[in-house]
Structure 1
Amino acid sequence: MDRINLSLLKALSENARMSYAELGKRVHLSAPAVAERIKKLEEKGVITGYRPNFNLEKMGIPITALVECQVYRTKEREFKSLIMTLDEVIECYNVTGPQAFVLKVGVTSMSSLDYLLERLIDLSDTNTKMIMSMPINENMPKNIEKVTEITDS
């Protein structure tokens, strides 16, 4: 990963709709050179997609929470199958520790959250944390140049 690719990734993380010409100005390359680099980053699986960010509250989903799930022994497969069907689940992390899964959920009301938790109760113990705000909402470390090995090739 060279400095130019890191700069391209940082720029795309700020605005994935930036044109190749705009990206080229940032990294001092032509638009075709930028397009070729981005194509290679996609082929290598470094860039896995382009998605908009949403304000859930403005979409009528005012409550977001993190639900830590301590899945009962022998119920993990069933738990995974269930959460794949739950529309309220925005993200799911398999983590270390007794609460092996952390779900980020978005719901329209506290009663909707309660109903969601009831669906999980036969498969896991849960611990719910309400998300008050997100002071940092990044998809890559800000100091990416320092944490990633940089090559000049």
Structure 2
Amino acid sequence: MDNINRKIIAALQQNARISYAELGKLVHLSAPAVAERIRKLESAGVISGYSLKVDLDQLGYPIVALVQCKVFRTKEREFKAHMLACKSVIECHNVTGEQAFLVKLAVQSMKQLDNILESFLDFSDTNTMMILSTPVDRAVPQTFYD
């Protein structure tokens, strides 16, 4: 991974819709050279896709919570299926420690959150934390660009 690829990735992180010509100006390469580097990064699996960032509050989902789930021993398969089926789940991570899963939910009301948490009780004990703000939101550690 050379510095040019790092700069390309940094620019794509900030604006995935940036043109090859604009990227080329940033890294001092031609647009076709940038396109080829991006194609190679995609082929190697370094770039696995492009996504859209949205403001959940603006979309009508003002409540975002993290839920630690201690899944009951024989219920993990059912729990995972429930997470996939639950439309308010936007992330679900299998993590180390006593609380084996960390789930991120976005909901429209506290009543909706309460109902969802109640549905988790068939599979796990839960501990819920409300997200008040997100002062840091990075996809790649800052040290990658140094």
State the TM-score, normalized to the length of structure 2: 0.97
CA contact (8 A) 2:7 2:27 kept: yes
Identical amino acids, percent of aligned pairs: 57
Partner of 1:51: 51
Name segments (4+ residues, structure 1) moved above 3 Å.
none
Partner of 2:91: 91
Q: Which amino acid aligns with 1:19?
A: S
Partner of 1:100: 100
Q: How much does 1:23 deviate?
A: 0.7
1:114-153: CA deviation from partner (whole Å, max 9, x where unpaired): 000011101000000000000111111112135xxxxxxx
CA contact (8 A) 2:10 2:145 kept: no
Q: Which amino acid aligns with 1:7?
A: K
Q: How much does 1:93 deviate?
A: 1.1
Q: How much does 1:2 deviate?
A: 1.2
Higher relative contact order (CA 8 A, sep 6+): 1
RMSD (Å), alpha carbons: 0.8
Give secondary structure in 2 for the equivalent of 1:58: coil
Partner of 1:149: none
Structure 1 stretches of 5 or more lacking a match?
A: 147-153
1:55-79: CA deviation from partner (whole Å, max 9, x where unpaired): 0101111100000101010111110
State the TM-score, normalized to the length of structure 1: 0.93
d(CA) in 2 for partners of 1:111 and 1:35? Answer: 48
Structure 2 stretches of 5 or more lacking a match?
A: none
CA contact (8 A) 2:5 2:37 kept: yes
1:68-102: CA deviation from partner (whole Å, max 9, x where unpaired): 10101011111001100110001111110011110
d(CA) in 1 for partners of 2:74 and 2:7? Answer: 45
